[in-house]
Amino acid sequence: MVLENERIIITNIILVNKKDQEIGQKEKMQSHIDGDLHRALSIQLYNSNGDLLIHKRASSKYHCGGLWTNTCCSHPFPGELTIDAAKRRLYEELGYKQVDLAEKFVFQYKASFENGLTENEIDHVFVGHTDLNPPEIDQKEIEDYEWMSIDELKNDMQNSHSKYTVWFKEIMKYLHS
């Protein structure tokens, strides 16, 4: 890992087997080139109205730049608990410190992208609630954000399927089908 402007940048991610047991580490970009199965996390934050905070990934991201996705997503550091990584990334990307998160489910997905990268992840999905607004976004990660009702989001996903990330569509199926 590397420290950049008081923010830790992941250089290695956790490689896992299909049972989510750690089997090694690899540099993040190389893992996405090779399509290695690795551990990831996704966060869904809801407000008291039941709206979900979604964000548009920065266009400069290594894949899926400019697509809308769940509140926050990332990879834990080697040796870091997934819940601790979720809390850390929620603060780094959105400035939220005091949000209780609960792991709701874990799923595996694999998706290849036009730029040759592959996401092959066991994704731990956390849910939390906050009425803090607006978030303090990290513009290196997030281009835009919006609170959306689940009905509005499901309708938009159906009508504009290609503007959302693969993993977010899967998460929505699990949580809101």
- Give the Cβ contact number of residue 176 at 10 Å: 13
* AA letter at 141: E
Quick one: 98 exposed, middle or buried, by C-beta within 10 A (0-12, 13-18, 19+)? exposed
Q: HSE on the CB side for 68, CA within 13 Å? A: 19
Which residue in the list 92, 121, 141, 143 is annotated as catalytic?
121
Which residue in the list 73, 92, 93, 143 is annotated as catalytic?
73
User: How far is CA 88 from each of CA 2, 66, 72, 78, 118, rounded to the nearest angstrom?
Assistant: 15, 23, 11, 14, 24
Helix (H) / strand (E) element for 92: namely: helix 82-94
Whether 73 is catalytic is yes
Catalytic residue IDs: 73, 121
